């Protein structure tokens, strides 16, 4: 990598306006890691990356270590009552909903990675739309960042 080249998800913001090159992230080793990166992608949207990086350990605590099984059973109101989550009710509600959808996709396809493989034949735009259709608070740009961050190109 060159000095201006980074790897997703933490080392760059994947901004197409910046001169830096951001290499794709590494494919996660577990479903929980895929889910955490999905949550990172939606929680950071519109927020300062430095702040997200700084507070991520506490967000991890507040969001039950991004364990989709635990979050699928959680109530957004209960998470918001704790001190360690982003104070954005729609995003917190999306994390809970997305945990439920994530588990459903894992059950249907055997793993989240297997679900992502079903998106491979689609064009880039259709791939982003298909991913965004499954998850709340994930639009095409967030879906694009997520796919980049999990190294979809190298799966």
Closest of 48, 85, 47 to residue 65, by C-alpha:
85
pLDDT: is 3 or 25 the higher one?
25
φ, ψ (nearest 5 deg) of residue 75:
-110, 135
pLDDT at 87 over 50: yes
**Domain range summary for the chain, segments of one domain joined by +:** 30-154
pLDDT band of residue 25 (cuts 50, 70, 90) is: confident
Q: 30-154: what fold?
A: Endonuclease III; domain 1 (1.10.340)
Closest of 152, 150, 153 to residue 10, by C-alpha:
150
């Amino acid at each position: 990598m060159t000095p201006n080249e980074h790897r997703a998800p933490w080392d760059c913001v994947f901004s197409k306006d910046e001169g830096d090159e951001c290499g794709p992230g590494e494919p996660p080793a577990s479903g929980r890691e895929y889910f955490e990166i999905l949550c990172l992608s939606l929680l950071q949207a519109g927020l300062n990356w430095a702040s997200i990086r700084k507070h991520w350990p506490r967000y991890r605590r507040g969001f039950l270590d991004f364990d989709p099984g635990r979050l699928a059973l959680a109530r957004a109101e209960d998470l918001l009552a704790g001190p360690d989550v982003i104070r954005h009710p729609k995003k917190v509600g999306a994390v809970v909903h997305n945990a439920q959808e994530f588990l459903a996709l894992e059950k249907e396809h055997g793993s989240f990675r297997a679900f992502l493989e079903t998106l491979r034949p689609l064009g880039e735009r259709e791939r982003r739309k298909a991913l965004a259709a499954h998850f709340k608070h994930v639009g095409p740009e967030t879906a694009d960042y997520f796919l980049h961050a999990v190294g979809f190109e190298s799966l």
